Structure 1
Amino acid sequence: MRKVSLLLLAIVALVTFESCKDSETYADRKKKERAAINDYIAKNKIKVISEAEFFAHDSMTDVKNNEWVLMNSTGVYMQIVRKGVGSKVKQGEIKNLLVRFDETDLKTDSITLSNRWLYYSSLVDHMVIKNTSGSYLGVFIAGKSTMWSRYRSTAVPNGWMVPFDYINIGRPKKDGDEIAKVKLIVPSSSGTQNATNSVTPYMYELTFQEE
């Protein structure tokens, strides 16, 4: 009987040890997130510039040199591919947008969601944005958004709001006009609720057009 009890205790201790060893802390997840972002930057030979350098170049990034700017307040890395036609969203203004995007999980380096290759207007994500004293709030339109269908939330990730201080929103009116296009590396803290819960960073390639 004593031998059986000792064996059971040994098994319980082993299971407990393995559970503790396999459990992952939030700090561990954050380290993996940082590693995934750094790996993506290294793999894609991204040149990270400071906000000071970004502002000195008229709030633009050099796409030919694969420049991205690190926005310190959010931890978002941003590349402005095109500033776009139209104008910036003004103070107090509300605009309806059409958005095309790719969403890439940086931990697996795989596209998890996309509507960028669907060029029918009914399949483009519909989004509303408002500028309140320089702070932007965006909502997806339920039933008219791939992001809403996937994540069941109308809340636009905070990371998506970062470019709006620097890009124009409008519609092409003549040949040569191009809508705004950006790329973003969004850490979990500025991503969807799903990204926050799983501590997963995503890369987004986005175009914005006024509806």
Structure 2
Amino acid sequence: MKKTLFALLALVGIMIFVSCNNSETYADKKKKERSAINQYLADSAVNVISEATFFAQDSTTNVSKNEYVLFNSSGVYMQIVRKGTGSKLKSGETSPVLMRFTEVNLMTDSVLLSNDVLKYSAIVDHLNVRNISGSFYGQFVSGESLFASYYSTTSVPEGLLVPFAYVNLARYASAESDIAKVKLIVPSAKGTTIASSSVYPCLYEVTLQKGR
């Protein structure tokens, strides 16, 4: 009986040891996330520029050189494809914004959500964005946002608010060039709550214009 008990205890101990060794730590997940971002940068031949270079270029990125600026404080990479017409949000100003987007999981290279494809072509996400002394805060309009419905949230992820300090919002767009367009690589910590808990980075392609 004792031999059987000791054997069972030993087996349980082995199972716990194997389980502990097979469990993935948060540090492991962050390492995989970093690897996925680096792989995308390499595969897409992205030319990463510093914030100093970005500001020296009048807060623009050279699309022909596939430039993305890295914001060190957030880990977000941004390429401004089109700066748009109109004007930036002033400090203290709140504005309705229309957003089209495509969200891609960089770990799996799969589209997670998009209102910029045929299935959702009639949907434009409505949000309200406020500039408080250079910091931007955004809320999706309930019932008028695919993003909000899908993720059951009204808060705009921090990573998606990065462009508002640099792009112009046109109220009327007579041409595509009037509408601001950016590409963003958003690490999990600045993305959706699901991305944050599962630790995966996303690539976003986003267009922004002022709503009415």
Percent of counterpart pairs with the same letter? 54
What's 1:107 paired with? 107
Maintained 8 Å contact 2:126/2:145: yes
3-state SS in 1 of match to 2:62: coil
Matches within 5 A, 1:91-106: 91-106=91-106
Q: Which residue of 2 aligns with 1:184?
A: 184
Q: Deviations over 1:58-115 (max 9, x none)?
A: 1111111111000111110000000001100011111111100000111111111000
SS in 2 for 1:60: coil
Moved over 4 A (4+): none
Moved more, 8-17 or 126-135: 8-17
Which stretches in structure 2 are left out of the alignment for 5+ residues?
none
Per-residue deviation, 1:167 = 0.3
Measured after TM superposition, the shift of residue 177 of structure 1 is: 4.3
SS in 2 for 1:37: helix
In the alignment, what sits opposite 2:201?
201
Change in 2 beyond 3 A, CA 1:173/1:7: closer
**Local SS of the residue matching 2:147:** helix
Return the TM-score normalized by structure 1: 0.95
Number of residue-to-residue matches in the alignment: 209
Counterpart of 1:27 in 2: which secondary structure? helix
CA distance in 2, matches of 1:172, 1:157: 26
* 2:137 aligned partner: 137
CA distance in 2 between partners of 1:12 and 1:176 (Å): 64
Query: For 1:182 and 1:75, how far apart are their aligned partners in 2?
Result: 16
Answer whether contact 1:85 1:172 (CA < 8 A) is retained: no
Q: Distance in 1 between matches of 2:10 and 2:145?
A: 54
Measure how far apart 1:168 and its partner are. Answer: 0.1
**Which residue of 2 is the match for residue 27 of structure 1?**
27
> How much is the aligned-residue C-alpha RMSD, in angstroms?
1.3
Answering whether residue 62 of structure 2 is matched by residue 62 of structure 1, we say yes
- AA partner of residue 17 (structure 2): F
Does the 8 Å contact 1:128/1:139 carry over to 2? yes
After superposing the two structures, state which structure 1 stretch, 16-25 or 72-81, moved more. Answer: 16-25
Distance 2:154 2:95 in 1: 16
* SS class of match (2:63): coil
**How far apart, in 2, do the equivalents of 1:115 and 1:172 lie?**
20
Kindly state the Cα deviation for residue 147 of structure 1 after the two structures are TM-superposed.
1.0
1:14 is aligned to 2:6: no
What letter matches 1:160 in structure 2? L
Distance 2:198 2:51 in 1: 29
Separation in 2, partners of 1:173, 1:195 = 33
Distance in 2 between the 1:200 and 1:9 partners?
A: 38
Secondary structure at the residue paired with 2:64?
coil
Name stretches of at least 5 consecutive residues in structure 1 with no aligned partner: none
2:170 is matched by which residue type in structure 1? G
TM-score by length of 2: 0.94
- Kindly state the Cα deviation for residue 161 of structure 1 after the two structures are TM-superposed: 1.2
Q: Which amino acid aligns with 2:13?
A: A
Is 1:164–2:147 an aligned residue pair?
A: no
Contact 1:29 1:199 in 2 (8 A): yes
